[in-house]
Amino acid sequence: MTATLNDFREAEELDSRPGWTWERLQERWARVDHWSFMAALILIGVGFVLSMSAGPTLAARHGVDPFYYVTRQMIYAVPALAAIVFCSVLSLRDARRIGVMIFLAAILMLILLPFLGIERGGAVRWFSLAGVSVQPSEFLKPGLIVACGWMMTVKPEPGAPPGMPTAVGLLILSCGLLASQPDWGQTALSLSAWSAMFFLTGASVIWAASGAMAVAVVAIGAYAGSSHFRGRIDRFLHSDGELSFQMEMTLAAIKQGGVWGMGPGEGVRKLALPDAHSDFIIAVAAEEYGLTLTLAIIALFAFITLRSLLRAAASKDPFVRVAGGGLACLIGFQAAIHVGVAVHLLPTKGMTLPFVSYGGSSMLASGLTMGLLLALTRKPDPEPEPIRDPWDEGLER
């Protein structure tokens, strides 16, 4: 069979689809929020520096080369950076598509977790994919935000799915899967980011209030149902001078660091903190580099969050406003929870610091989140192309 001219034309059209020409990508990159991108790069750099503090301790515990985890951190940064750059130049439709695909994949993996996952302690959170541990819940969050952002902003028109009910359904599904692991930290984070989006859609206050009530009911249920969770909360609420070992170490580390820190490699509490490299990386930063670095880290996250919220809010596209705001809140909330736990404003809950904490899943998921956020917060396209919904196709043709 010989190819007809028409076939070639179609192929040419496909190849030169507006989203995928080099010029188009370059043009999109020019509109990306470079300041937030730089802030994320700095945070990844901070992550390197801190991995040199926390990594060798971890390596010594596991009996591997001292710079094993430093190297791993650098290796993880490559796909994370690639994800940021790649996602940031996607067309809005492709970004949404990628987000939904990530969401569906993560949901699938979460459903399969009880059968295929690795049990560690009381929780099943990890997959082993070709020798690499993957934590699907990390990827679920940006996917959930993008998918729900889309659903929340669906226009009521013939053929369109019911937007808000679908978004609520997706949230319940996600939170249910996360809570069943159980992973209350990720559940709370997803719920918070989703609620922020819901708030951004301009939903009525009554709805928001009843949502908050529902959350309270779920929280009380979790408190009553999970002894582990209850213990954490009780310990947080009744901790007059009686702190857990982790909290003692973390607060002592921050205290020890003071304003300027003890100096690189001089920290001692990281030796005693079991999760210094991930859930308490801010304590390592505080002890060795002091208030200077911790405030800088907080400022960088605040910068990314606020600037992205601002840019998202400026968009004409409701999907961008809602999903972009949601992704910005996701990063902001996660950083805030991490720091809040360390300074004992929140109950102890393992939460990585995006870009900074050690861990492949966390790093790549942070990169994807940031990339999608950058895609959504690009300056408005001078020649906007419509985002077509799947159900639009029939109507248009």
Partner 1 sequence: MNRLFEENPFGAPDPDFRPPVAEQPAPRRKPRRGPSRSALLMGAFVGGFLLLGGRMAMVAWPEDGAAQASPAATGSGGGGASVLAQAAARDELLPRLRADLQDRAGRILATSLPIYDIYADRARILDPTETATRLAEAAKTDPIALQQRLTQSPRGTITIMRSATPAQLQQIHDMGLPGVYGAGRLTRFYPEGRLAAHILGGVNAEQRGVSGVEAGLDAYIRDPAQVDKPIPLSIDVRVQAGLESALREARARFAAYGAAGVIMDARTGEIIAMASIPDFDPNHRPSPLALKPDEDSALDPLFDRAAQGSYEMGSVFKIFTAAAALESGMVDLSTILDARNPIYRAGHRITDYRGPNRMVTLTEGVMFSSNLALGRLATLIGHEHMSEFLRKLGFYERVPLQYPQGVLAMPQTPRNWGPLELITVGYGHGISVSPLHVAAATATLVNGGCRVRATLVRLDAPPPCERVVNPEVSVAARGLMRLVVQYTTGRNAEVKGYEMGGKTGTALKAVKGGYSQRERIANFLTIFPAHEPKYVAIVSLDDPKVIEGKERNLSPTAGRTAAPAMKDVIERVAPLLGLAPDVAGEWKAEQIVGARFGGLKYRP
Q: Which residues within the stretch 293-332 sit at the binding site for partner 1 (CB under 8 A)?
A: 294-295, 298-299, 301-302, 305-306, 309-310, 312-318, 321, 325, 329, 332
- Hey, which residues between 172 and 211 contact partner 1 (CB under 8 A)? 196, 199-202
Q: How far is 88 from 374, CA to CA, in rounded Å?
A: 5
Tokens of 232: 């954490």
Q: Which stretch binds partner 1 (CB under 8 A): 33-41, 108-116, 135-143, 378-386?
A: 378-386
Determine, following the binding rule CB under 8 A, whether residue 379 of this chain makes contact with partner 1.
no
| Nearer CB in complex with partner 1: 144/339 | 339
| Nearer CB in complex with partner 1: 9/255 | 255
Pick from 72, 96, 269, 378: which binds partner 1 (CB under 8 A)? 269
Determine, following the binding rule CB under 8 A, whether residue 151 of this chain makes contact with partner 1.
no
Pick from 6, 13, 14, 122: which binds partner 1 (CB under 8 A)? 122
Element containing residue 119 per DSSP (H, E): strand 118-120
We find the least distance from the C-beta atom of residue 241 to partner 1, in angstroms, to be 5
Determine, following the binding rule CB under 8 A, whether residue 231 of this chain makes contact with partner 1.
yes
Query: Is 377 in contact with 317 (CB distance < 8 Å)?
Result: no
| Nearer CB in complex with partner 1: 64/81 | 64
Determine, following the binding rule CB under 8 A, whether residue 390 of this chain makes contact with partner 1.
no
Query: Is 40 in contact with 83 (CB distance < 8 Å)?
Result: no
We find the least distance from the C-beta atom of residue 133 to partner 1, in angstroms, to be 10
We find the least distance from the C-beta atom of residue 153 to partner 1, in angstroms, to be 6
Encoded one letter per residue, x for contact with partner 1 by CB under 8 A and - for no contact, window 342-371 reads: xxxx----x---------------------
Element containing residue 167 per DSSP (H, E): helix 163-180
| Nearer CB in complex with partner 1: 245/391 | 245
| Nearer CB in complex with partner 1: 171/249 | 249
Q: How far is 313 from 307, CA to CA, in rounded Å?
A: 10
| Nearer CB in complex with partner 1: 6/394 | 394
Encoded one letter per residue, x for contact with partner 1 by CB under 8 A and - for no contact, window 39-58 reads: -------------------x
Q: Which stretch binds partner 1 (CB under 8 A): 7-15, 20-28, 209-217, 341-349?
A: 341-349
Determine, following the binding rule CB under 8 A, whether residue 339 of this chain makes contact with partner 1.
yes
Angle, helix 34-62 to helix 281-313, in steps of 10 degrees: 160
Q: Considering CB under 8 A, how many residues would be counted as binding partner 1?
A: 80
Angle, helix 184-200 to helix 136-152, in steps of 10 degrees: 20
Q: What is the CA radius of gyration of the chain?
A: 22
**Those residues with Cβ within 8 angstroms of residue 54's Cβ, 6 or more apart along the chain or in another chain:** 69, 270, 276, 277, 281, 284, 358
> Max alpha carbon distance in the chain (Å)?
82
Sign of CA dihedral 209, 372, 183, 230: negative
Phi, psi of 153 (to 5 degrees): -110, 15
| Nearer CB in complex with partner 1: 9/161 | 161
Sign of CA dihedral 252, 258, 262, 264: positive
Pick from 18, 62, 216, 379: which binds partner 1 (CB under 8 A)? 62
Tokens of 142: 């940006």
**Distance, C-alpha 113 to centroid of its chain:** 20
| Nearer CB in complex with partner 1: 222/309 | 309
Query: Is 199 in contact with 208 (CB distance < 8 Å)?
Result: yes
Q: How far is 360 from 372, CA to CA, in rounded Å?
A: 18
Q: Which stretch binds partner 1 (CB under 8 A): 29-37, 43-51, 153-161, 210-218?
A: 153-161
> Using the 8-state DSSP alphabet, how is residue 55 labeled?
H
| Nearer CB in complex with partner 1: 22/121 | 121
Burial 204-215 (b: 16+ CB within 10 A, else e): eeeeeeebeeee
Q: Which residues pair with 133 in a beta bridge?
A: 128
Pick from 384, 390, 391, 393: which binds partner 1 (CB under 8 A)? 384
- Hey, which residues between 13 and 42 contact partner 1 (CB under 8 A)? none
